[in-house]
Amino acid sequence: MTGETEGRFTAALAIARRDLVEFVRDRRTLFVTLLLPMVTYPIVALSSALGLRTAVSDLEAKAASSSLAVAVSGADAVPFVDRLRAVAETPPRTGPAAADWPATLEIEALPAEVAARALATGVADIWVEAAAGTVATLDGDGTATLAARLSPSRVAEPRAERHWEALVRAVSADALRRRATGAGLAKGFLEPLRVVVEEGPAVVAAATSIGPTLAGSILVLLAVLTLTGAFYPAIDAIAGEKERGTIETLLMAPCSAGQIVLGKFLAVFAVTLATLAANGLSIALTAAAAVRLLPAGMSMALADPGGGSVVTLVAFAGLAALAAATCLAVTTASKSGKEAQNTLTPVILLVSALAGTSMLPGLRDNPWLALVPFAGQIVVSRAALVGPGVDGAAALPVALLLGLSLLSALALTWLLLKGTAVMLTDEDILFRGPDAATRGLARPAPRRLPTVAQGWLPAVAGLALVWYVQGIAPGNLLLAIPLHQTVVVLLPLAAMLWWQRVDRARTLGLVAAGSPGRVLASLVGAGLVGAGLFVVSAALLLALQGTDVSPAVRSLSQRLIGLIREHPWWVSAALMALVPAVAEELLYRGWVLSAFAGERPGHSRAAAAVVAQAVLFAVAHLLPERIPATLALGLAAGILRLATGSIVPAIVLHAVHNAMPLVLLALAGEDIQPGLADLATGTRLPPGVLPVALVMIACGGALVAVTVWRRPPDRPSPR
């Protein structure tokens, strides 16, 4: 470590130490953040365990056998009672009748008026009228009809009816045996096959363990509470400094904005880790105590509680870093502590939704979900606790899942800290005073490019709108694709372009990429890179996951094939390639990238901007197994946009990338059938196409590099 680097880190540690001291002095916040979980978990666990025990006891009581009193009247009452008693002497041992057989059985022949009175007073559970000839019909070849009435006092109790049905089944079986004997048939004639099912102790133990079921729910709760641990420290870290008027003094200190942000992050991260530790300890102690309150025969056994706990702590340490960076970034864009609280509340709801996706059937076993923030950590931890591939857990090795989760958390934390440092030096964000809230709906002053805080808004709004559009979108892609692109992408972008009076041409990259020759070369190079990138991404998906895709991807591919088969090729190309390319590039490589990169960014900020917009672009597509492909597309398009200064090459790259399923289907040289739907999502590749794709990427990249070499600098446009 050089002296300069050591000095920067020392400054960051000094700021972190200062903020931690301030936080510890606030005892109320300290209690809410660290000590409240130690009280909350036992209360929740006690009430849940007692509720579960009560519910099981109620179910057992309802399922338990009880007494049954039957009153029989009518002309054949006495012989029918004798038949019932004969059957009751040898109750069934197997089958539904055995399961519902009453513990005690009382059968009496009574006059009709006495039987009616016994039924009305609850002395009898069932009143049966056996007409003349009932027993003779049973012994013959006809069907006897009985009129049975349940006691009014036992209407809400289903056990009496179940017991009576079991008795009737036993009488019917006895009548069949008598008829078979009278016809000279063997007793086994009516029972040609008997199956005896044996359950080993391991099966019974696994069936009575609720550990795998509870693990996911507890991990979701732990993720949300870990985020809340960063809530108050992050608010005080920067928004509190603004309210106290000390942020200007801090910025005048001999340290950079990056050092200030790093120091405050370390302080918030330390508190978040302490919250994680408190929650983890409380969960462990609560689980140990709650086991004793579980009903008999029920346990919380896990496949690997020791190793799984270690993996959970490591994975959730990455979640704690991500939570601290997220809260710090949100509060930096706020002018006061009150605004920071109001802004962080929906962020917690969003994180809760992300964490909850890790428990959805069809998603929780998807290994690519490990890359999704606040959901990946739950996927990893659950797989480590219950075992890979068990009870819907992801089947990849836990070490690989943990690596993906930590890589994603570290990358996103770095991006958030870079964005926070940029916002900390933005005068429009930093020096917004209380009067900023008094301007009502007045539009802000004109500016050249949107700020970093403004760059997130249309992308996050579009992500929220996805859920609403899915509820109203038609099944026909001919209408669904334009509706999705309009509502989710173009409307939020248009609203921001109108509200924020920025230089639209500069922001969206609506400029020429040089001379006509350079423009043509850059477009050709972009197309080659887009085509090759699709094939390489598909090959990567095949290598890591094979052809086993999720039902969502399979359904989408089938719908795309239907679109291609039912409409001309140019309609399919426009909807699959051109429309998404134009709309999404204007939003992500136009508005979002310009906001993150700013005016003439340095290498570090440019890299952070490219990665940040690519992550948002990948998350917006909602399909975990497509994250590598969409992330690679976002990175390539972002680099191309910054290199050429124009949005047009990025649109070409995106359009060609999306059109590759059509090209591959055409190269297949066969009629489009549903079996070829795999081509539409890159789960099947023609032989020999991967080397060609690598060559195309290399040639396209070289062509773009030549066009931007010594490109004249952009001249700033007037405000």
Residues 490 and 587 in one domain: yes
Region 567-585 average pLDDT: 90
Half-sphere exposure of 331 (CA within 13 A, CB side): 28
Answer whether 382's CB lies under 8 Å from 364's CB: yes
- Asked if 319 contacts 410 with a C-beta cutoff of 8 angstroms, the reply is no
Residues 6+ apart with CB under 8 A from 231: 33, 327, 344, 348
Same domain, 10 and 156: no
**One domain for residues 590 and 703:** yes
More confident residue, 236 or 529: 529
Nearest to 513 by CA among 708, 349, 341: 708
CATH number, residue 90:
3.40.190
Distances (CA, A) of 244 to 239, 241, 250, 338, 435: 9, 5, 12, 13, 16
C-alpha to C-alpha distance for 69 and 102, rounded to whole angstroms: 10
Verify that 291 and 251 share a domain, yes or no. yes
Structure token digits, residue 133 = 């000839």
The pTM assigned to this predicted structure is 0.66
As a whole number of angstroms, the distance between CA 642 and CA 162 comes to 75
Give the number of domains in the chain. Answer: 3
Backbone angles phi, psi at 107, to 5 degrees: -130, 125
How confident is the model over 453-505, as pLDDT tens digits?
Answer: 788 889 888 887 877 777 677 778 888 888 889 999 999 999 999 988 899 99
Going by pLDDT thresholds of 50, 70 and 90, the confidence category of residue 594 is very high
Whether 653 is in a domain gets the answer yes
- Average pLDDT on 356-381 reads 80
Do residues 525 and 545 both lie within one domain? Answer: yes
301 — phi, psi (to 5°)? -65, 140
**What's the rounded Cα separation, in Å, for the pair 23 and 271?**
9
C-alpha distance from residue 517 to each of 81, 254, 452 (Å): 104, 49, 34
For 4-24, write each residue's pLDDT tens digit: 555 567 878 888 888 877 776
Distance CA 218, CA 309 (A): 13
Q: Which of 256-265, 495-504, 544-553, 675-684 has the lowest mean pLDDT?
A: 675-684
Count CB atoms within 10 A of the CB of residue 109: 21
- 214 and 310, same domain (yes or no): yes
Query: Would you mind telling me the total number of residues written for the chain in this entry?
Result: 719
Chain mean position to CA 644: 37
Helices (H) and strands (E) in the chain, counts: 33, 4
Q: Scan for tokens 């420290």, then name that residue.
A: 233
- Specify the 3-state DSSP secondary structure of 2: coil
User: Does residue 215 have a pLDDT over 60?
Assistant: yes
Domain-located, residue 496 = yes
Are the C-beta atoms of 332 and 424 separated by less than 8 Å? yes
Above 90 in pLDDT, residue 653? yes
Give a yes or no: residue 194 inside a domain.
no
Percent of the chain with pLDDT over 90: 15
**One domain, residues 474 and 621:** yes
Q: Are 382 and 358 in contact (CB under 8 A)?
A: yes
- Whether residue 311 lies inside any domain: the answer is yes
Report how far residue 543's alpha carbon sits from residue 694's, in angstroms, rounded to the nearest whole number.
16
Asked if residue 677 is part of any domain, the answer here is yes
| CA–CA distance, 579 with 586 (Å, rounded to integer) | 11
Q: Which of 394, 406, 204 is nearest to 299 (CA)?
A: 204
Say if 678 falls within a structural domain.
Answer: yes
Specify the pairing of strand 147-150 against strand 67-73.
Answer: unpaired
Do residues 334 and 289 share a domain? yes
**Confidence band, pLDDT 50/70/90 cuts, at residue 717:** very low
Mean pLDDT of 416-442: 66
pLDDT in tens, 339-349: 888 878 878 88
Residue 667 belongs to a domain: yes
Q: 582 versus 89: which is more confidently predicted?
A: 582
Best-predicted range by mean pLDDT (59-73, 210-224, 577-591, 667-681):
577-591
Residues 139 and 27 in one domain: no
Residue 505 and residue 472 share a domain: yes
C-alpha dihedral (341, 347, 348, 351), degrees to nearest 10: -170
| For range 233-237, the mean pLDDT | 84
- Residue 204 pLDDT: 37
Specify whether the backbone of 329 is left (phi greater than 0), alpha (psi in -120 to 50) or beta. Answer: alpha
Q: Which of 403, 432, 461 is the last residue of a domain?
A: 432
Type and span of the H or E element at 129: strand 126-129
Looking at the structure, tell me whether residues 278 and 169 fall in a common domain. Answer: no
**Domain assignment of residue 31, yes or no:** yes
Q: What is the mean pLDDT of residues 429-441?
A: 52
CA distances from 705 to 528, 588, 631, 700 (A): 13, 22, 21, 9
CA angle 663, 666, 670 (to 5 degrees): 150
Identify which of 567, 590, 562 has the alpha carbon closest to the alpha carbon of residue 680.
562
pLDDT digits (tens, 9 = 90+) for 252-300: 777 888 888 888 899 999 989 988 888 888 777 777 766 666 555 556 6
Instruction: Identify the domain containing residue 257 by its residue range.
Output: 3-52+210-432
CA 282-284-289 angle, 5° bins? 95
Q: Are residues 38 and 114 in the same domain?
A: no
